[in-house]
Structure 1
Amino acid sequence: MTKKLSLPALVIATSCLALGAYAAAPAASAAAAAQPKLVVVLVVDGLPNEQLLRYRDQFGQGGLRRMLDQGASFSNAHQAHGITVTAIGHSAVLTGAYPYVHGVIGNNWIDPITKKSVYCTEDTNYTYIGEETKSSDGTAPTRLKVDTLGDQLRYATGSRSKVVTVSGKDRGAILLAGKTGTAYMYMDKSGNFASSTFYMKAHPGWVQQYQAAKPQDRYYGKSWTALLPEAAYAGDANPDLNQVKAGAHNRLPYSYYSESGEIDAGYYNSLKTGPFLDQLTLDFARAAVDGENLGRNPAGVPDLLGVSLSAHDYVNHAFGPESKLSHDHLQRLDRMLADFFTYLDKKVGMDNVLVVLTADHGFPNTPEFAQTQHNDAQRIDGDKLMAALDKHLSEKFGGAKLLSAWSLPNIHLDYAQIDKSGLKREDVESAAARYLLAQNGIVEAYTRTQLESGAANTTRIATLMRRAWNREASGDLMVVTKPYWYFGTGTSGTSHGSPYAYDTNVPLMIMGKRWIKPGAYGQYAEVVDIAPTLAHLLQVRPPSGAEGRVLTETLR
């Protein structure tokens, strides 16, 4: 029989429990206070996880291998949305949100009102500082509809925390920086890293000093050569599978120069394909750590540094992830990261640093290589497909022009014309979907009616495509190609953007020995899990649109 406590005894017992809780509080508070001084978020543009696994035995000790050995590494991590491109992937990293919420539905997309193409980070109210700015250049996070981890960190610390991001692409920097951080991006006309007037009126002194040294000029006339002995590349694809355009080359050594014979915009643009862009990006990140005292904040609050390394994407687009150039580039990036970690250890102390590494998307093989593996793989000319769809709908529905615009995989119908013609929107959508499904290379077609009502099927592909569809910004149909097929023309290279594993499965590694349990994790994880996990460790509110989970299995 359980003995009941009298009221006085109950009060005493409760008080003792409370005192015990208070006695334990100092230890808990001390543990809570042990936040990272610096969080470094690395995004390798266009790195499929399979490359990390395939080449891991060739990595050095201090870079990617260090993260694999000393950090938590997920083999089954995904960019879990259906349109796997740079802008969407970068948006996911620190918002923890999917496109249907965060509003960035592509690198470019069609504005449903104007029917004109818009760029993910364009905002003509702002310009690059000291650099030529075109109307379609990325200058601000205006189209990102939610906040980021960095925004929440600055809010929680009264803007005392510093959030700085740098990338070879404007969208890589801006979509990591969020609304209140500061983004710097590579200018391919001058080779500088510059910010925009969204963030400040003029660059701080450390940026001006960095630009004045013109480190980008040191690679003129230099060659990208193979890092490893020739035997290390024995399993790579024959470069002749990838027929590049006249005047270009697809082999190492790969030289950097300009047609004019002078250091000019042609040379600065050429640096994007190869390791030198990433080296410059990491050099600028070092300058930011020094110039902004990142990780040594006088206010005693954490700082955040985002570094998006863009060159792997350019290399994989041009030559494919199966190429020697892609293979070698990843090895060189590994050594660059080792040097960067050594630098951070000296400046901040790696015991005070939490590092996350992921990618914005993966990559399929080139169709030519995929065919040697007996896969059905081809390129689809999207403009020809849309012209045929336009003709089909016109013939079926009395001659009216019902297709208004497209930025595949999104397709926009002319609802005003449909209504004017006395047609039902759903009938036209369904007719378009049926036509597309009958075309070679198309495996799925989803309509606005299906997506708004939730009537699309419940397959994983359908789930990923629903996440990628934003009611206000996306098209009235979304199409999905067969595996290894993609929208594109030409006879060389490859591209990404599908909901298939080769595009979604990316690295997800977290390293920080005071907070993270090292190990190889086979659990399913998503890139949107990064922001909630970092919010938990930094003791701040998760970003507003975050849907990921805290990766509790990795936490000490």
Structure 2
Amino acid sequence: MTPAISFTRKIVPALLLAAFSVHAAPAPQKPVAQPRLVVVLVVDGLPQEQVTRYRDQFGQGGFRRLLEQGAWFSDAHQAHGITVTAIGHSAVLTGAYPYQHGVIGNNWIDPVTKQSVYCTEDSAHTYIGEETKAGDGTSPAKLRVTTLGDELRYGTGNQAKVITVSGKDRGAILLAGKTGTAYMYMEKSGNFASSTYYMQQHPQWVQRYQAGKPQDRYYGKSWTPLLADSAYVNDARDDIVPARAGARNTFPFAYYSDSGGLDGDYYSRLKSGPFLDELTLEFARAAVDGENLGRNRAGVPDILGVSLSAHDYVNHAYGPESKMSHDHLQRLDRMLAGFFADLDKKVGMDNVLVVLTADHGFANVPEFNETRGIPAKRVDGAQLLQDLNGHLAKTFGVDKLVTTYSLPNIYLDYALAEKNGVSRVKLEDAASSFLLRQDGLAQVYTRTQMETGAVATRMDTLMRRAWNRQLSGDLMVVTKPAWYFGKGAGGTSHGTPYTYDTNVPLMVYGPRWIKPGAYGQYAEVVDIAPTLAHLLRVRQPSASEGRVLTEVVR
């Protein structure tokens, strides 16, 4: 028996080891090369529902290419409670929420000066070759965290290039981060320019682009519908959407100036239609050539960020249900098709990774909602705060307990209240109770609630993410669904934690790295930065809280 036992002890483990080696150690696979160029597209003010509502009319090379050949998340959200341009753009490449990144709105109240400040203003810097007014956006000084571009440049010894362009200064600056380079549209001249934060003078390729004056070619031209009349049959009638003072609310829209010449009046009007986006993408093409993007001699990836601003202007003026918004999206689709075709020629789309999202969605125009039996109105913020101050003065016998506001943030004078024997909690409770009795308001959050961190509902979570301890107000006010802060007649807005404002497109295209398909999983815009960091093999941005979208990564 002994020989048999010895044989078994020697041979069987050897066979097992051989079998384990065969199955557990496959030949190593060569890693997939990194993208040479990452293109991040942000369509300002594009709700997800517009993509699905109009997708059958898209051409072959733009949105349809991303939807059918890329990964598309139908349940993607800007997952914070104040859905405005600056916060939405900050989320894209920081992967962070306002409570950390510090951009709590387009504007907010400075806690020291008690004055309104703009998200990208920086008096230490000016536009290059352009007029710079107080409050103009010139640097990312108020952004408190890093972006994906910052981490990519750090990880490559600053050899990677990060270039961004937008029709709005905040759209470009907050994508560029601390170490990228931002270019923004100048409504006085129609140029795209940078600021002295980034450089002292423009590179030659920018100077050549500006010398060509492409913005002047639209003078005297009109924006007319792209498609046949039958394509717009389900859009809201023009007469339901009241025109803002001095503005048209029906096609055609002509681009000119009252002076009859090329001036700031004309260049400003270009913002409210498709020609601004044409110019933005044309400048992006010039950046690809001028900076040799995607063909970096160091062999490292580059980032091109493009924020397309015109859709936001159109939706503000006419609403996402309008014929104008519908037509603009179709025109943008064709613009993207041409842009992708050019990238294919210059870089090769098999070397390019594309992400498309939006900074926020949009509410329908109140007048349109009312035709559908949905209660909706505008809430006059100035009147609301005047009434609140009056109520608090009557309740406590103290005037001006509300110091200022930048809705949805309201700032209280705790020191004045306590000096007059009114506790902080009593002041907050009295203000909150009054506000909740006003038309159009659904919820009020107090500083005490925010500091204790109590979270019971999804809205609580979204608003808590949007509240920054050092910068935000002592009260945060949420309107009822379909209502928004504004006054007068015409147009609509955004900024709430409701789905029509949070649900935005999230599309990722790059066949070598991304598994195409329609994904119903919940996703957030803050997931973009960690996903791209994973694919680029760099450190995630410093305050990133998103997840890697592993379900779409090859």
TM-score (normalizing by structure 2): 0.96
| Aligned-residue RMSD, C-alpha | 1.9
- Matched with 2:151 is 152
- Matched with 1:230 is 229
One-letter amino acid matched to 2:492? T
Deviations 1:7-49 (A, max 9, x none): xx99x979x979x86x845x3xx315x1000000000000000
Deviations 1:135-180 (A, max 9, x none): 1000000000000000000011000000000000000000000000
Q: Distance in 2 between matches of 1:216 and 1:498?
A: 35
In the alignment, is the contact (CA less than 8 A) between 2:398 and 2:420 conserved in 1? Answer: no
Q: 1:528 aligns with which of 519, 522, 526?
A: 526
Superposition deviation, residue 395 in structure 1: 1.3
- Matched with 1:446 is 445
Superposition deviation, residue 247 in structure 1: 3.5
SS in 2 for 1:271: helix
Q: 1:503 aligns with which of 480, 501, 504?
A: 501
- Matched with 1:58 is 57
In the alignment, is the contact (CA less than 8 A) between 2:80 and 2:463 conserved in 1? Answer: yes
SS in 2 for 1:165: strand
Alignment of 1:370-409 (within 5 A): 370-409=369-408
One-letter amino acid matched to 2:507? M
Q: Distance in 2 between matches of 1:526 and 1:418?
A: 40
Q: Distance in 1 between matches of 2:497 and 2:190?
A: 34
In the alignment, is the contact (CA less than 8 A) between 1:112 and 1:412 conserved in 2? Answer: no
SS in 2 for 1:354: strand
- Matched with 1:466 is 464
Q: Distance in 2 between matches of 1:263 and 1:241?
A: 34
- Matched with 1:245 is 244
In the alignment, is the contact (CA less than 8 A) between 1:400 and 1:421 conserved in 2? Answer: no
Deviations 1:245-266 (A, max 9, x none): 3542111111100000111000
Q: Distance in 1 between matches of 2:50 and 2:313?
A: 15
In the alignment, is the contact (CA less than 8 A) between 1:355 and 1:512 conserved in 2? Answer: yes
One-letter amino acid matched to 2:442? V
Alpha-carbon spacing, 1:153–1:389, altered in 2? closer, same or farther (3 Å): same
- Matched with 2:342 is 343
- Matched with 1:312 is 311
Q: Distance in 2 between matches of 1:200 and 1:257?
A: 33
In the alignment, is the contact (CA less than 8 A) between 1:272 and 1:311 conserved in 2? Answer: yes
Q: Distance in 1 between matches of 2:338 and 2:293?
A: 18
In the alignment, is the contact (CA less than 8 A) between 1:76 and 1:524 conserved in 2? Answer: yes
SS in 2 for 1:552: coil
- Matched with 2:3 is none
Q: Distance in 2 between matches of 1:301 and 1:525?
A: 28
Q: Distance in 1 between matches of 2:391 and 2:510?
A: 57
Superposition deviation, residue 430 in structure 1: 1.1
- Matched with 1:327 is 326
Superposition deviation, residue 4 in structure 1: 13
- Matched with 1:513 is 511
Alpha-carbon spacing, 1:434–1:327, altered in 2? closer, same or farther (3 Å): same
Deviations 1:202-227 (A, max 9, x none): 00000000000000000000011110
Alignment of 1:425-444 (within 5 A): 425-444=424-443
In the alignment, is the contact (CA less than 8 A) between 2:244 and 2:491 conserved in 1? Answer: no
One-letter amino acid matched to 2:477? V
Deviations 1:335-373 (A, max 9, x none): 000000000000000000000000000001100001111
In the alignment, is the contact (CA less than 8 A) between 1:93 and 1:530 conserved in 2? Answer: yes
Q: Distance in 2 between matches of 1:381 and 1:232?
A: 36
- Matched with 1:538 is 536
- Matched with 1:268 is 267
SS in 2 for 1:342: helix
Q: Distance in 2 between matches of 1:182 and 1:299?
A: 19
Q: Does 1:482 align with 2:480?
A: yes
Q: Which segments of structure 1 move beyond 6 Å, counting only runs of 4 or more?
A: 3-6
In the alignment, is the contact (CA less than 8 A) between 2:284 and 2:306 conserved in 1? Answer: yes
Q: Distance in 1 between matches of 2:145 and 2:21?
A: 42
Deviations 1:484-519 (A, max 9, x none): 000001100000000000000000000000000110
Q: Distance in 2 between matches of 1:17 and 1:267?
A: 73
Q: Distance in 2 between matches of 1:444 and 1:17?
A: 62
Superposition deviation, residue 399 in structure 1: 2.4
Q: Distance in 2 between matches of 1:5 and 1:318?
A: 83
Q: Distance in 1 between matches of 2:133 and 2:542?
A: 32
Deviations 1:450-501 (A, max 9, x none): 000013x411111100000000000000000000000001100000000000
- Matched with 2:107 is 108
- Matched with 1:411 is 410
One-letter amino acid matched to 1:65? R
Superposition deviation, residue 400 in structure 1: 3.6
Q: Distance in 1 between matches of 2:413 and 2:114?
A: 10
One-letter amino acid matched to 1:301? V
- Matched with 1:97 is 96
Superposition deviation, residue 397 in structure 1: 1.1
SS in 1 for 2:551: helix
- Percent identical among aligned pairs is 71
Superposition deviation, residue 405 in structure 1: 0.6
> Would you say how many aligned residue pairs link Structure 1 and Structure 2?
544
One-letter amino acid matched to 1:67? L
One-letter amino acid matched to 1:370? N
In the alignment, is the contact (CA less than 8 A) between 1:400 and 1:417 conserved in 2? Answer: no
One-letter amino acid matched to 2:513? W
One-letter amino acid matched to 2:31? A
Q: Which runs of 5+ in 1 are unaligned?
A: none
